[in-house]
Each structure stands twice: as C-alpha cells, then as structure tokens.
Amino acid sequence: MTYGRREIAPSEQIKALRHARDRYAELADRIHNDTESTLDAAEKRLREEDARRIAKAYDRSLSNNVARLSGMEGTHKSITQTLGPWWIGALLMVALACLLPFAYTPARDGFLKLRDAGTVASNRPPAERAPPA
C-alpha cells in the first residue's frame, strides 16, 4: 500500500473545481431566493456574499488551472515532436559523413608508416650469398 498524497489528474482537478464552483453559485442563488428563511436580511446577505465570494474564488482557481495546463502543453514537446524523426536521422547522417574521414585517419596513417618501414626481420627472405671464390 502506498502512503502519502495521491496525485489527481489535471482533468479531474478541473472537473472538481467546476463542480465546487457550481455548487457554491447554486447555494448563493438559493440563499438569495429563499423567502421562508428565519434569518434576518443582514445575515442572509452576508451568507449570500460569502457563497458568491467562494464561487468567484473557485472560478479564478479554475481559470488559473486551465491557463497553467494550456501553457504546459508547449513545454512538454520534445525536439523529436517539433522536428520529426526524419530530421533527426538526416542530421545524424550528415554528422557521421563529416566525422568518418577523421575517425579513420589515425588508423590509415599508422598502416602507411608500417608499410613504409619495410618488412619485419623475421619475414625477410634469406639473403643470397655469393659463391665462394
């Protein structure tokens, strides 16, 4: 079992914020339209203002959440999504084509030095001797 806080998906957060905002707006309307209340007018007005203030706060939070999530869409795009895999492949091929000659230069130079140095002593053919005179 995992302990701690469970992260809620952003779509669920927005859905819950809308539900809470609608609930408080409905409560404010119900308080405003309630004629059978035992509350005096000042108390009724205070409760209605509180409910509308809370509904407005939920509305601001909802708009901030939507703005934050819409702003995050652009930051989560990677280079492969913007350029596409073909551009990445083409860039790699160009890089390899430019770097390949430099990679083989030390090996080629080493081989040429061995060839120019001549044969190794153990591989030399036996020396021809002049006949005794």
For 10, phi and psi rounded to 5 degrees? -55, -35
**What tens-digit pLDDT sequence spans the chain (133 residues)?**
567 778 888 889 999 999 999 999 999 999 999 888 788 889 999 999 999 999 999 999 999 988 888 876 655 555 556 667 777 888 888 888 887 776 666 666 666 665 555 555 555 666 677 777 6
For the chain, what are the domain ranges? 9-76, 79-119
Q: 65 and 13 in contact (C-beta within 8 Å)?
A: yes
pLDDT at 9: 85
pLDDT at 110: 64
For the whole model, what pTM was predicted? Answer: 0.50
pLDDT at 39: 82
Q: 94 and 64 in contact (C-beta within 8 Å)?
A: no
Q: 52 and 30 in contact (C-beta within 8 Å)?
A: no
pLDDT at 48: 94
pLDDT at 21: 95
pLDDT at 126: 64
Q: What is the distance between the alpha carbons of residues 122 and 126, in angstroms, rounded to a whole number? A: 10
Q: What is the distance between the alpha carbons of residues 79 and 88, in angstroms, rounded to a whole number? A: 9
Q: 47 and 31 in contact (C-beta within 8 Å)?
A: yes
